[in-house]
Chains A and B, each alone.
Chain A
Amino acid sequence: MDTRLTQTNPAPAVLPASEHDPHGSHADHRLFGLATFLVADGMTFAGFFAAYLTFKAVNPLPEGSSYELELLLPSINTVLLLISSFTFHRAGVACRGGHLPRSQAWLLVTTALGAAFLAGQMVEYFSLPFGLRDNLFASTFYALTGFHGLHVTLGVICILVVCWQARPGGRITATSHFGLEAAELYWHFVDGIWVVLYGILDQADRSSGLIKTLFHQSTCRSVPAMGTISLSVFSFHGTGLSWHWRGTTQPRQVRRCWLVRLFWPRPDL
């Protein structure tokens, strides 16, 4: 019976550290864990989106109630967030290249963009003609954008912390920068969600004439377009991060897309 148990050869005298100490320095899977968590978080949004789309499709707007969204401000906000994804990407590249001060600068730019987004959101909230309880769509609008805004706020705080940690002598160095990469992944996620959110909030409810007609027919057209933009932003830093996913420090040997590597368990499968 015991013959079927292949005991490993005791030959290698020095085991890789990962073999021995689970709490210590085994390969770092935290980024993978974070990605899984973001999938879960994304499902929360997906639930909200589904609810919103259903409400829109089914429930009439009560008479005398208004639900008109702004167009300009959210569009500017979208651009700001997309740029911030790019600046965060630059920060990551700089950090991995060992240029911490430059990385910090890019992080600060990102923070500024995030803060500008939040400010814009606030302005929009106060200028909208409806409040949280005015009607079903108003409630859903605030719930959706509010939940997203919460994510942005958290992201901004994280970036500030990371920026602080990237000071000379701080936790983050060119070779050890989990915090930075986690924040980056999270930030891209929050951006991606916003793009979908922007596409889903019915374009017909936005007020300006030109783009209204452009988007009028259905949300179905804008979502793929926005999706493409966000995907290209995502893939920007893909190569940069790809070697990190499996916790190895060997740079770019395997030429597989990071998305694939992230969810593909192991090469020996």
Chain B
Amino acid sequence: MAIPSALITLLIGIALTLAGLWVGHNVRLLPIDASANAPVYDALFEVLFTIGTILFLGIVGLLVYSLVRFRRRSGDSGDGLAIEGNLPLEIVWTAIPAVVVLFVGIYSYDIYERMGGMASFHDHGAHDHAAMAAMVQEASVASAASTDPDGQERIWGGIGQSASGAAVLPVEVTAMQFAFIFHYPDSGITAGELHVPLGQSVQLRMEAKDVIHAFWVPQFRLKQDVIPGQPTLLTFTPTRAGTYPIVCAELCGPYHGGMRSSVVVHEPDGFDAWLQSNRPAQVAQAPAAPFS
């Protein structure tokens, strides 16, 4: 009994989809998530991984099947079928990828929005330059005098909500060959490691001294180039205590590979303790006075 080919196609399609869903859901390729936007990122990853798996298995399956099924048997020197094309088919395989790609694009836009990537960091309202000017302005380097015509300092936005207010912990980051330096303006601490409290938004204000560096914490799913002359903001909220690597991701010279540091996410009391024990000298000395 012949099974109709449409049915077979349908079954294969279902099997592929299930396989893709299973792989997307169960194969873990990413490191643990430790920031508020990491789970959002992981959701996108799962979707992409699923679609990718379905497409890849489908296409490779078709390829291998054709190679086996239609291989030339020895002694056969005939030709295959003289089929030169099929318009409905072409339309199908133009439309399906177009729809998939459109869906992926819109979905990832949504994800990006949720991660705070679409936030504009310099909507001064006063800007009604021509489109060209606006475009390049944001893409640019503010150079030595990093101020706007209207006198405000130009800041470039990386990903992350442009959070403001008391709840945000500001940290100044200086990237140089070959280290990151972290300065806490509120407490005056300067350190080679980034220490942050769990669950509180942190806003990094990053500047590069010499060449381009990139600040990357894989567990936060965050990366931002730090370009000389272009102060950049990056905001994140750590959600899991622990110590994670900070990696420089842009080739910056011979010791680029060694340009690594760590970010320590403390439980809130732990963070206060760290602040206490690292206050700069003059502050820390005050309680020490009774001994002398």
Contacts and interface: CB of A to CB of B under 8 A. Distances in A.
B145 A57 contact: no
B229 to A, nearest CB: 10
Contact of B145 (A53, A60, A218, A220): A60
A89 to B, nearest CB: 35
Interface stretch (B89-97, B130-138, B196-204, B213-221): B130-138
Most interface-central of A57, A63, A136, A220 (chain B CB within 10 A): A57
A103 B92 CA distance: 62
Q: Is the interface of B mostly helix, strand, loop or mixed?
A: loop
Interface in A21-60: 53-54, 57-60
Nearest to A60: B145
Contact of B140 (A58, A218, A220): A58
A220 B147 CA distance: 26
Contacts of A220: 130
By size class, the interface of chain A is: 10 to 19
B145 A62 contact: yes
Interface in A204-222: 218, 220
Interface residues of B, number: 16
Contacts of A53: 132, 136
Nearest to A135: B143
Nearest to B134: A57
Given A53-B132, A218-B130, A58 B144 contact: no
B168 interface: no
Nearest to A1: B79
Interface string B134-165: 01110111111101010000000000000000
Interface in A246-260: none
A53 B139 CA distance: 13
Contacts of A62: 143-145
B129 interface: yes
B136 A63 contact: no
Contact of B143 (A54, A57, A60): A60
A54 B136 contact: yes
Contacts of B129: 57
Contacts of A60: 142-143, 145, 147, 149
A59 B141 contact: yes
B143 to A, nearest CB: 6
Contacts of A59: 140-141, 143
A62 B147 CA distance: 11
20 contacts: A53-B132, A54-B136, A54-B139, A54-B140, A57-B129, A57-B132, A57-B133, A57-B136, A58-B133, A58-B136, A58-B137, A58-B139, A59-B143, A60-B142, A60-B143, A60-B145, A60-B147, A60-B149, A62-B145, A220-B130
Interface of B: 129-130, 132-133, 135-137, 139-145, 147, 149
Given A57-B136, A62-B144, A220-B130, 15 more contacts: A53-B132, A54-B139, A57-B132, A57-B137, A57-B140, A58-B137, A59-B140, A59-B141, A60-B143, A60-B145, A60-B149, A62-B143, A62-B145, A63-B145, A136-B143
List the 6 closest A-B pairs by CB distance, nearest first: A58-B140, A57-B133, A54-B136, A57-B136, A58-B136, A58-B137
